[in-house]
Amino acid sequence: MSEDAFDAIIVGGGLAGLTAGYVMAQAGLMVLLVEKGNYSGSKNVTGGRLYGHSLEKVIPEFAEVAPLERKITKEKLSVCRNGQIETQEYPASSVTDPSGYSYSVLRAKFDKWYADECEQTGVELICGVRVDDLLIRDGKACGIVAAGEEMEANVVLLADGVNSLLAQKIGLRDSRPAAADQITVGVKEVIELGEDVVNHRFGFQSGEGVAWMFLGCCTDTQGCDGFLYTNKDTVSLGVTMRVDNIPSLDKTVPQLMEDFKRNPMIASLIEGGKLLEYAAHLIPEGGETMMPKLYGDGVLVLGDAAGLAANLGYTVRGMDLAIESGRLAAEVVIAAIEKERYDSSTLAAYEQALKESFVFPCMREAESSLKNSKAGNYRNSASTLDESMSWILLSGNDANKVNIPDKLGINKFHTDEFNAHVEVDKAYPDKTEMDLLVRACPAALYSVDEKGTLFFDYLGCLECGTCRILSERKVVKSWNYPQGTLGIEYRMG
Ligand SMILES: Cc1cc2nc3c(=O)[nH]c(=O)nc-3n(C[C@H](O)[C@H](O)[C@H](O)COP(=O)(O)OP(=O)(O)OC[C@H]3O[C@@H](n4cnc5c(N)ncnc54)[C@H](O)[C@@H]3O)c2cc1C
Ligand code: SF4
């Protein structure tokens, strides 16, 4: 190990990586965090509800200083029964207990703030650099390769998100992408309404907000769930669809989002709003069975990269799990540095710590929620529903057609005109495979003409990874993130 080696290098400046960095730097470790986006949060997307309990342990009273949108004071759950929507409304859980508070957040703002806190604590942060490989010596991870340079560390923490190409590369995850039945694609729009309009339409005082989930009923498509979170002067609105359901869809994924928006009830809530951003991202939701090996010699896997997220129907969680995993991983690394032992048996303490925390029970709940949804039942919907309203279902007719180029035109991209980060086989012999990608891509970048010729343009890619999950080694010949600094730059997230 060279003299200028770090104690730890973290790949990925989302909530898992930032938390690990913050805690290790606070303990006096030399920490390098490498993020491929131009700033932390610029590649990250969430629905919007951060449960504060795990960050509270890292930065007590963070809510006083962090850029939060609104405190969640009300929850709503809409479930479709016999062609009717039944909506239950109730005060946000633990609204009287500070450790249970939750907040709507926009990741581009929130992660940026958190990254600044990390730098002030001593984390060396490099943004705009994609880590391409890990340095492995004698079977042990001892650094990273990024932008053609090697950087060394005693321990590497992989917090590189749901697609975690690096965990796959070093054999901690299966050599194939995650299975389509364990991954959900989420499409999200941030719509500006103005603070007064948000308050008025949702019946709030300033600062109060709602987390509203729609189970299986937001469009006329089975298996498509929806969410709505109120922000300060915007709403975060989106749909989610398990990737293995896409082959049987009779419409495209972007069309699902459009149908949701055009539902009369949703349409009235966002009327007059201005689209600020169109985003897509994957959510791991397989529970314990989809988790990779969490540690190896000199390496730990955190957050979404470790499959740590839970779609429970009445709520989606991943941010609090990412933060908890970051904190627990940091504590294990701090102890390892003291002992000067970085082998897998020492780092195994991380898995044990996760098992003893709320994370593993949450992952088990995620798994049973997924089983329920596969069996055609609602996930974990509340049993008593007291308010009901009729729901006019819209079919995907021409009037609803979605204009994706307009939506992408609102986004900020740093285009790489020369290097395609996704390469496709345009001569792939099976047209069904091509059609699948046309249906799946949230950015509608795949199309097939009447002669069966495939067209694909990687510019405009939202970097979600859905096409990789569905078709790697078939139509999709190779898939990577764009080079650091390039590609989508989320301003909301
Ligand atoms: C539509 C949707 C709705 C959701 N709703 C909620 C919700 O309401 N509440 C909730 O708690 N959770 C929710 N989640 C889940 C939650 O957003 C994630 O679980 C959480 O963001 C995971 O954090 P992370 O730090 O592990 O990963 P990420 O936030 O994805 O961060 C990974 C980081 O690694 C970087 N990176 C990746 N590869 C490299 C590389 N090779 N080199 C350098 N950097 C790299 C990325 O740029 C990124 O910044 C939702 C997710 C989605 C998609
Ligand atoms: S090309 Fe693939 S990674 Fe890019 S937006 Fe479409 S499905 Fe997602």
pLDDT (tens digit, 9 = 90+) per residue, 408-426? 999 999 988 889 999 999 9
Output the CA 487–ligand 2 centroid distance in Å: 12
Nearest CA to ligand 2 atom 6: 441
Calpha distance 20→8 (Å, rounded) = 10
* Mutation pick for ligand 1 pocket among 76, 304, 488 (CB with most ligand atoms within 8 Å): 304
Q: Is any atom of ligand 1 closer than 6 Å to the C-beta of 320?
A: yes
Residues above pLDDT 90, as percent of the chain: 77
For residues 213-230, give the mean pLDDT: 83
Q: Which ligand is nearest to the CA of 246?
A: 2
Average pLDDT of the chain, as a whole number:
91
Apex 221 CA angle, 400 and 375, nearest 5: 170
Highest mean pLDDT among 165-169, 178-182, 231-235: 231-235
SS3 letters across the chain? CCCCCEEEEEECCCHHHHHHHHHHHHCCCCEEEEECCCCCCCCCCCCCEEECHHHHHHCCCHHHCCCCCEEEEEEEEEEEECCEEEEEEEECCCCCCHHHCEEECCHHHHHHHHHHHHHHHCCEEEECCCEEEEEEECCEEEEEEECCEEEEEEEEEECCCCCCHHHHHCCCCCCCCCCHHHEEEEEEEEEECCHHHHHHHHCCCCCEEEEEEEECCCCCCCCEEEEEEECCCEEEEEEEEEHHHHHHCCCCHHHHHHHHHHCHHHHHHHCCCEEEEEEEEEEECCHHHHCCCCEECCEEECHHHHCCCEECCCCEECHHHHHHHHHHHHHHHHHHHHHCCCCHHHHCHHHHHHHHCCHHHHHHHHHHHHHHHHCCCCCCCCCCCCEEEECCCCCCCHHHCCCHHHHHHHCEEECCCCCCCEEECCCCCCHHHHHHHHHHCCCCCEEECCCCCEEECCCCCCCCCHHHHHHECCCEEEECCCCCCCEEECCCC
The CA 335 to ligand 2 mean position distance, Å, reads 40
User: pLDDT band for position 169 (50/70/90)?
Assistant: very high
What is the structure's pLDDT at 217?
60
Taking the CA of residue 440 as reference, the ligand 2 atom at the shortest distance is: 7
Mean pLDDT (whole number) for 87-115: 85
pLDDT value for 35: 98
From 79-83, 209-213, 342-346, the region with the lowest mean pLDDT: 79-83
CB distance 464 to ligand 2 below 6 Å: yes
Cα of 44 from ligand 1 centre, angstroms: 5
Residue 195 CA to its chain's centroid (Å): 26
Query: Residue 313 — very low, low, confident or very high, per pLDDT cuts 50/70/90?
Result: confident
> Mean pLDDT across the stretch 261-266?
88
* Nearest ligand for residue 436 CA: 2
Q: Hey, whose CA ends up nearest to atom 8 of ligand 2?
A: 464
User: What is the widest separation between alpha-carbon atoms in the chain?
Assistant: 68
Q: Using CA atoms, how far apart are residues 479 and 98, in angstroms rounded to an integer?
A: 43
| pLDDT above 90 (res 175) | no
- 154 neighbors 8 (Cβ within 8 angstroms): yes
441 CA distance to ligand 2 middle (Å)? 5
Report residue 433 as tokens: 């495979």
Q: pLDDT value at position 262?
A: 87
Distance 62 CA to ligand 2 centre (A): 35
Report pLDDT for 31: 98
Residue 3: the pLDDT is 63
Over 80: is that where the pLDDT of 160 sits? yes
Mean pLDDT of 174-195: 92
Q: Is the pLDDT of residue 247 over 50?
A: yes
Residue range 395-412, pLDDT digits in tens: 334 455 789 999 999 999
- Of 243, 283, 422, 470, the residue with max ligand 2 atoms within 8 A of its CB, to mutate for a pocket test, comes to 422
Instruction: Answer whether residue 83 shows pLDDT above 50.
Output: yes
Mean pLDDT of the 93-103 span: 70
- Any atom of ligand 1 within 6 Å of the Cβ of 43: yes
482 lines ligand 2 (CB under 6 A): no
Give the pLDDT confidence score for residue 392 in this predicted structure. 30
Cα(465) to ligand 2 centroid in Å equals 6
Instruction: Give the per-residue pLDDT at 400.
Output: 59
Residue 178 banded pLDDT, cuts 50, 70, 90: confident
- Give the pLDDT of residue 402: 85
Ligand nearest to the CA of 146: 1
pLDDT of residue 220: 67
CB 234 within 8 A of CB 178: no
Question: Token pair for residue 31?
Answer: 């920490």
In this predicted structure, what is the pLDDT of residue 235?
Answer: 98
Residue 469 has pLDDT above 60, yes or no: yes
pLDDT digits (tens, 9 = 90+) for 68-77: 999 999 999 9
Q: Is the CB of 437 under 6 A from ligand 2?
A: no
Q: Is the pLDDT of residue 54 over 80?
A: yes
Which residue's CA is the nearest one to ligand 1's atom 30? 161
Least confidently predicted of 218-227, 354-363, 469-478: 218-227
- Residue range 48-63: average pLDDT? 96
257 lines ligand 2 (CB under 6 A): no
469 HSE (CA, 13 A, CB side) = 27
pLDDT given for residue 457 in this prediction:
92
Considering only CA atoms, which residue is closest to atom 4 of ligand 2? Answer: 461
In terms of pLDDT, which residue wins out, 223 or 250? Answer: 250
Ligand 1: centre distance to CA 203 (Å): 31
**265 vs 440, residue with greater confidence:** 440
Share of the chain above pLDDT 70, in %: 91
Q: What is the pLDDT of residues 344-388, one digit of tens each?
A: 999 999 999 999 999 999 999 988 888 887 776 655 443 333 333
Q: Which atom of ligand 1 is nearest to the CA of 186?
A: 1
Confidence of residue 176 (pLDDT cuts 50, 70, 90): confident
Displacement of CA 45 from its chain's centroid (Å)? 5
Per-residue pLDDT for 39 more than 50?
yes
Q: In angstroms, what is the span from residue 301 Cα to ligand 1's centroid? A: 13
Residue 186 has pLDDT above 70, yes or no: yes
Give me the mean pLDDT over the 179-193 stretch. 95
Ligand 1 center to residue 303 CA distance, Å? 8
In the predicted model, is pLDDT for residue 37 greater than 70?
yes
Q: For tokens 């809510």, name the residue.
A: 63
Q: Is the pLDDT of residue 20 over 50?
A: yes
- Please tell me if the CB atom of residue 422 comes closer than 6 angstroms to any atom of ligand 2: yes
